[in-house]
Amino acid sequence: MTKRILLGMLTPSSNTALEPITSAMVSGLSGVSAHFARFTVTEISLRDQALGQFDDSKIMEAAKLLADAKVDVIAWNGTSSGWLGFDADQRLCQRITEVTGIPATTSVLALNEIFEKTGVQNFGLVSPYLTEVQEKIVANYKRSGLNCIAECHLNLHVNFSFSEVTDGQIRDMVTQVAAQNPQAISTFCTNLKAAHLVPDLEALTGIPVYDTIATVVWKSLLIAGFDTRQVTGWGRLFQDVA
């Protein structure tokens, strides 16, 4: 029997986008399935209460539950290190692996790896987040030597509301950012229903679009030893970035 590939996804409790999108991405892949564990996230802001949602101890309990399923990788399907600092995700991945023995990754670390592999220096950023959160993300990338030359955000803070952003709103934001000719654009939120729009947006703008649900699926498959080129219909990432 061919070995199954089991992808473990750490999921914000109020997220209704990443589970169906992730499952759809892997649905055509023989032997591959995605499995989810939730922990409480309801608000995205810089308030102490909101920042405390990402305390590692809470995430680790969910990670241990995924480990019970003997998954091949445990992935934080979320973008919190965009405003908390990328080292937060690095520490989290290290701790997950130390405790469970399972390799770990995150949406943001995967995105950063993609930027590095493709030589991106100037990028565009699309999110539903508050202005102060967006500014933190831009500043963290600036410290890492990457320039956000165009951005668009919706100034929302209730995590559930991100999943209600319409296709039309997302298209408008991406095309607005694309007008500044970045080397790549990221739709930066795993509760944003943007991944299915990526092929059309790339065809429209001529610019690669890296959705943060797609980035973590891409990296998870690589860690599990799966050829990402078998993922079709979700944009250039899976075909072009080895």
Residues 45-64: tens digit of each pLDDT: 999 988 888 888 889 999 99
Nearest residue to 224 (alpha-carbon basis) of 3, 52, 45: 3
- Contacts of 120 by beta carbon, 8 Å cutoff, 6+ apart: 114, 146, 183, 184
User: 207 falls in which pLDDT band (50, 70, 90)?
Assistant: very high
Residue 240 has pLDDT above 60, yes or no: yes
User: 200 falls in which pLDDT band (50, 70, 90)?
Assistant: very high
pLDDT at 1: 56
**Domain ranges in the chain with CATH number 3.40.50.12500:** 5-108+213-240
- What distance in Å separates the CA atoms of residue 100 and residue 182, rounded to the nearest whole number? 39
**Domain ranges in the chain with CATH number 3.40.50.1860:** 110-211
- Contacts of 99 by beta carbon, 8 Å cutoff, 6+ apart: 60, 63, 64, 67
203 burial via Cβ count (<10 Å: 0-12, 13-18, 19+)? exposed
Q: Report the pLDDT averaged over residues 200-228.
A: 98
Nearest residue to 46 (alpha-carbon basis) of 166, 140, 170: 140
User: 148 falls in which pLDDT band (50, 70, 90)?
Assistant: very high
pTM of the model: 0.96
Let me know: does 129 contact 153? Beta carbons within 8 Å. Answer: yes
pLDDT at 165: 98
User: 178 falls in which pLDDT band (50, 70, 90)?
Assistant: very high
pLDDT at 49: 85
Q: Report the pLDDT averaged over residues 147-176.
A: 97
122-127 and 147-153: which strand pairing? parallel
Let me know: does 31 contact 96? Beta carbons within 8 Å. Answer: no
- Which ranges of 75-187 does DSSP label H, i.e. alpha helix? 81-84, 86-100, 107-118, 131-143, 159-162, 167-178
- What distance in Å separates the CA atoms of residue 116 and residue 105, rounded to the nearest whole number? 16
Q: Indicate the CATH number of 110-211 among 3.40.50.1860, 3.40.50.300, 3.90.1170.50, 3.30.230.20.
A: 3.40.50.1860
What is the dotted CATH code of the domain comprising 5-108+213-240? 3.40.50.12500
Residue 242 has pLDDT above 90, yes or no: no
Residue 199 has pLDDT above 60, yes or no: yes
